[in-house]
Chain A
Amino acid sequence: DAGITQSPRYKITETGRQVTLMCHQTWSHSYMFWYRQDLGHGLRLIYYSAAADITDKGEVPDGYVVSRSKTENFPLTLESATRSQTSVYFCASSDKGGVAGANVLTFGAGSRLTVL
Chain B
Amino acid sequence: RKEVEQDPGPFNVPEGATVAFNCTYSNSASQSFFWYRQDCRKEPKLLMSVYSSGNEDGRFTAQLNRASQYISLLIRDSKLSDSATYLCVVNIFGNQFYFGTGTSLTVIP
Contacts and interface: CB of A to CB of B under 8 A. Distances in A.
A43 interface: yes
Interface string B41-57: 11111100101000000
Interface string A84-116: 000010100010101111111111111010000
A43 B43 contact: no
Interface stretch (B14-22, B71-79, B91-99): B91-99
B46 A106 contact: yes
Contact of B97 (A101, A105, A108, A110): A105
A104 to B, nearest CB: 6
A101 B2 CA distance: 25
Contacts of A102: 31-32, 34, 49, 91
Given A50-B95, A96-B94, A110-B42, A104 B100 contact: no
B94 A50 contact: yes
A31 interface: yes
B34 A42 contact: no
Question: Chain B, interface size: which category?
Answer: 20 to 34
B32 A107 contact: no
Interface in B23-81: 31-32, 34, 36, 41-46, 49, 51
A41 B101 CA distance: 7
Contact of A100 (B45, B51, B102): B51
19 contacts: A31-B94, A90-B44, A94-B97, A100-B32, A100-B49, A100-B51, A102-B49, A103-B97, A104-B46, A105-B34, A105-B36, A105-B44, A105-B97, A106-B46, A107-B45, A108-B43, A110-B41, A110-B43, A112-B41
Interface of A: 30-31, 33, 40-43, 45, 48, 50, 56, 88, 90, 94, 96, 98-110, 112
